[in-house]
């Protein structure tokens, strides 16, 4: 069985500060990794994904995540956050033998304050 | 990207009744998924719906409680049967496109009194 743990349920930061949202997973098979974002009163959107290749993946709005196989982690980082980054962030995995279904972490609420 | 719509967007229902949620995608997809997001919690997969076959349910979810239809490659329904207040959640459908990228519908917010 697979599981995903997001170590922080809430992360308050000030605008322009760096942020790291932590994600660890457990799986007996290889997985694909994802970060999804849910802005207030909006639907769930894919932020970035790791399928293969370079372990560092980046989004168009400045977020990046690094797949660390030895530590089974996929932490999300941004060097300087904006007020508009305030949202709920979900880490998720798809086992590579289970046809795309997602197993989500508990979510991290990122609150960016001026 | 894909466009996924859901109906209704929200509903308030009495216990013991049933509600059917519709999910429409704007292109043909093989796999569709139904998730539940209980208040203050993460998303949990209910079932995978493939066209032309019975849905595959995850542990803790059964067909009698959550019957699913998948009549064609762009549409699916989820019924929440014999509802109780514990069924109050947001129900989301999604579909899987290239490179395992899933797009989600806006969700149906269900409140059971």
pLDDT in tens, A86-113: 999 999 999 887 777 899 999 999 999 9
CB atoms within 10 A of CB B16: 10
Q: State which residue of chain A sits closest to B91, comparing Cα positions.
A: A43
In a domain, B44, yes or no: yes
Nearest C-alpha neighbor of A81 from the set A114, A51, A56: A114
Q: How many domains does chain B have?
A: 1
Sign of CA dihedral A100, A52, A62, A75: positive
Which of residues 29 through 48 in chain B touch A, CB cutoff 8 A? 31, 33, 35, 41-45, 48
User: To probe the interface with B, which of A6, A34, A43, A98 has the most B CB atoms within 10 Å?
Assistant: A43
Q: Is residue B7 assigned to a domain?
A: no
Task: Enumerate the domain spans of chain A.
Answer: 3-113
> Which top CATH class is A3-113?
mainly beta
Q: Does B105 touch chain A (CB under 8 A)?
A: yes
pLDDT at A18 over 90: yes
Amino acid A26: pLDDT: 93
One digit per residue, the tens of pLDDT, for chain B of length 113 reads: 678 999 999 999 999 999 999 999 999 988 899 999 998 888 999 999 988 888 999 999 999 999 999 999 999 999 999 999 999 999 999 998 776 788 899 999 999 99
Across all residues in chain A, what is the average pLDDT?
Answer: 92
Q: Do A89 and A23 form a contact (C-beta atoms < 8 A)?
A: no
Q: Could you tell me if residue B70 is inside a domain?
A: yes
CATH number for the domain spanning B82: value is: 2.60.40.10
A7 touches A22 (CB < 8 A): yes
- Domain membership flag for residue B91: yes
B111 burial level (CB within 10 Å; 0-12, 13-18, 19+): middle
Domain assignment of residue B65, yes or no: yes
pLDDT score recorded for residue B26: 92
Domain span at residue B67 reads 26-96
Asked if the peptide bond before residue B8 counts as cis, ω within 30 degrees of 0, the response is yes
Confidence label for A30 from pLDDT (cuts 50, 70 and 90)? confident
Residue B1's pLDDT is what? Answer: 66
Residue B13, in any domain of the structure: no
Domain for residue B16, yes or no?
no
Specify the pLDDT at position B94.
Answer: 94
Instruction: For residue B3, tell me if it sits in a domain.
Output: no
């Amino acid at each position: 069985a697979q599981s995903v743990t997001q170590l922080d349920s809430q992360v308050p930061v000030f605008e322009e500060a760096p942020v790291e949202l932590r994600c660890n997973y457990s799986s007996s098979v290889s997985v694909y990794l994802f970060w999804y974002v849910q802005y207030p009163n909006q639907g769930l959107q894919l932020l970035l994904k790791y399928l293969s290749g370079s372990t560092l993946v980046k989004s168009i709005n400045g977020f990046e995540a690094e797949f660390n196989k030895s530590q089974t982690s996929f932490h999300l980082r941004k060097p300087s956050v904006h007020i508009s980054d305030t949202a709920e962030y979900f880490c998720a995995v798809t086992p590579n033998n289970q046809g795309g279904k997602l197993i989500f972490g508990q979510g991290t609420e990122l609150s960016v304050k001026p | 990207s894909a466009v996924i719509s859901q109906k209704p967007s929200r509903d308030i229902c009495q216990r013991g009744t049933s509600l059917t949620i519709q999910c429409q995608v704007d292109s043909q997809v093989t796999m569709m998924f139904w998730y539940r997001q209980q208040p203050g919690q993460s998303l949990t997969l209910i079932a995978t719906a493939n066209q032309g076959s019975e849905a595959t349910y995850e542990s803790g979810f059964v067909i009698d409680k959550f019957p699913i239809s998948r009549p064609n490659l762009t549409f699916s329904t989820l019924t929440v049967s014999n509802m109780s207040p514990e069924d109050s959640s947001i129900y989301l459908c999604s579909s899987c496109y290239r490179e395992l990228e899933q797009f989600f519908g806006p969700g149906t917010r269900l409140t059971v009194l």
